[in-house]
Amino acid sequence: MENNFLYKNGFDAGKYISFEEQINNGKSDYYAALRLSSDGWHDSKNSYFPFIENFITTLLYCYKELDKRFAAMGAMGECVKLYVPMTCGISSNTR
């Protein structure tokens, strides 16, 4: 579900790094964020910040992991870095 949301909103790292897998790798943090975001829900006093913070942190990790994979590829990784934005519809002016 998250990959589909991210892809539709221009975040293409999920095509190469599974967002759901990263959530699963940090599931204790994910469930803690869900719990914290739900505290006070019945009284309309909950905060979505813990969940959003976890979501953004996980997304950042996906991009860092993608960057590490490019770096591990050496010169070929540089070619891929140039190719991926073209296939994802990302303009070079947006970097």
CB-based burial label for 33 (10 Å; 0-12, 13-18, 19+): buried
In the chain, domain spans: 2-94
In 3D space, the residue among 34, 4, 33 whose CA is nearest the CA of residue 18 turns out to be: 4
Q: What is the pLDDT of residues 23-52, one digit of tens each?
A: 999 999 999 999 999 999 999 999 999 999
Higher pLDDT, 78 or 15: 15
Q: What is the pTM of this model?
A: 0.69
Please determine, for residue 80, whether its predicted confidence score (pLDDT) is greater than 90. no
